[in-house]
Amino acid sequence: MIVLNDNFLMERMSTFLLLSIRISAFLLISPLFSTTAVSLPVRIALMAGLTLALMSSISTPTIDVLSPMGVVMIMREAVIGISVGIIFQIAFTSVAMAGEHIALSMGLGFASMIDPQNGSQSVVVAQFLNIMLILIFLVTEGHHVLIRQLIASYKVAPIGGDLDAALFLGIVKSAALVFSAALIISLPVIVLLFLVNILIGFMTRVAQQMNIFSIGFPLTILAGFMMVFVSLPTMGAAMSGLIQTAAGVVRNLLLETKALP
C-alpha cells in the first residue's frame, strides 16, 4: 500500500526532476526533436512521458536537489543529455555542409531560402539533402535509435556517478565526423564539377570569342543537378551509414568515460 505523505511526494518529485534533466537537455539539442516543427508543448509532453516511464526502472540517489551537490548532479545530467544529442546533430550538420559545398561548386551559393526546420537561411541544395536525411532517418527508425541511446545512457552513466573528462574530449574528436561525412557525400558531385570547369577552361582557350558566362554557368548547373540525381542512391547509403556511425560514436563515447555502475 502506497502512503502519500510529504516525504514520499518529495522523493518522487526529486526523482522526476533528476530524470527529466537529462531528457530535457537531450530534446533541446537532438535532431528532429529540436526543430521548430516540434513545438514546445510537444517536447514537454514527450519529456514528461519518458520520465514517467523510466521512474519505475531507474534508481536515483536520495539527495537535496537544491544543495551544492544536487546542483552539480543536475549540471552533470544536462551535460550527458547534450552529449548524446549533439553527436547526432553533428551528423545532420555534416549533410548541410555537404549541400553547401555542392551548391558553391554548382554556382548556386546565392540560391538560398528560409529553412523551415531550424528557421535559418540556407541554400536549396542543403535543404534538399537535409530533407532527404530526415526521410532516411525516419525510415531507418533513427528516432527510435535516439531514444534507445538516451535510455541506455542511464545504464552506462547512471545518475550520481562521476563525470569523466574523456566525455568532453570525445565530443571534440567527434567533430571530425562533420568534415569526413561531408566530403564523402559531396565528393562525387564536386569532382565532376571540377572536371566540367576544366572542360570549360579548355573551350574558352580554343574558342576565345565564346561567352563563358552564357555557356559555362548553365552547363555547370545542369551537370551538377544530373550528378546529384545519379548520386542519390550513393548519398542515401552514405546517410544511412552516417546515422549508424553516430549511434556507435555515442555508445563508445559513453563507454570510454568509464562511468559503469
Would you say residue 1 lies in a domain? no
Per-residue pLDDT for 1 more than 50?
A: no
Confidence of residue 124 (pLDDT cuts 50, 70, 90): confident
| Domain enclosing residue 111, as ranges | 6-256
Strand partners, 61: none
Which 8-state DSSP code applies to residue 57?
T
Per-residue pLDDT for 44 more than 80?
A: yes
b/e burial code for range 50-74 (CB count within 10 A of at least 16 → b): bbeebbeebebeeeeeeeeebeebb
| Residue 71 to residues 6, 63, 75, 157, Cα–Cα distance (Å) | 22, 10, 6, 17
Confidence of residue 258 (pLDDT cuts 50, 70, 90): very low
Count structural domains, the chain. 1
* Residue 114 to residue 121: CA distance in whole angstroms: 4
Write down the pLDDT at residue 162: 66
Would you say residue 91 lies in a domain? yes
Would you say residue 93 lies in a domain? yes
Would you say residue 164 lies in a domain? yes
Mean pLDDT of 47-51: 85
Strand partners, 121: 114
Confidence of residue 260 (pLDDT cuts 50, 70, 90): very low
pTM metric for this prediction:
0.76
Would you say residue 231 lies in a domain? yes
Would you say residue 261 lies in a domain? no
Share of the chain above pLDDT 90, in %: 0
Would you say residue 22 lies in a domain? yes
What pLDDT, in 10s, does the model give residues 85-122? Answer: 888 888 888 888 888 888 888 877 776 666 666 666 77
What pLDDT, in 10s, does the model give residues 155-205? Answer: 777 777 666 666 666 666 776 766 777 778 888 888 888 888 888 777 777
φ, ψ dihedrals at 232, nearest 5°: -60, -45
Would you say residue 114 lies in a domain? yes
The overall average pLDDT reported for the chain is 77
What pLDDT, in 10s, does the model give residues 126-148? Answer: 888 888 888 888 888 878 888 88
Write down the pLDDT at residue 118: 62
Residue 202 backbone class (left: φ over 0; alpha: ψ -120 to 50; beta: rest): alpha
* Residue 41 to residue 48: CA distance in whole angstroms: 10
CB under 8 Å, gap of 24 or more: what pairs does 146-150 form? Answer: 146/26, 146/30, 146/31, 146/32, 146/33, 146/84, 146/85, 146/88, 147/50, 149/84, 149/247, 149/250, 149/251, 150/22, 150/23, 150/26, 150/50, 150/81, 150/84
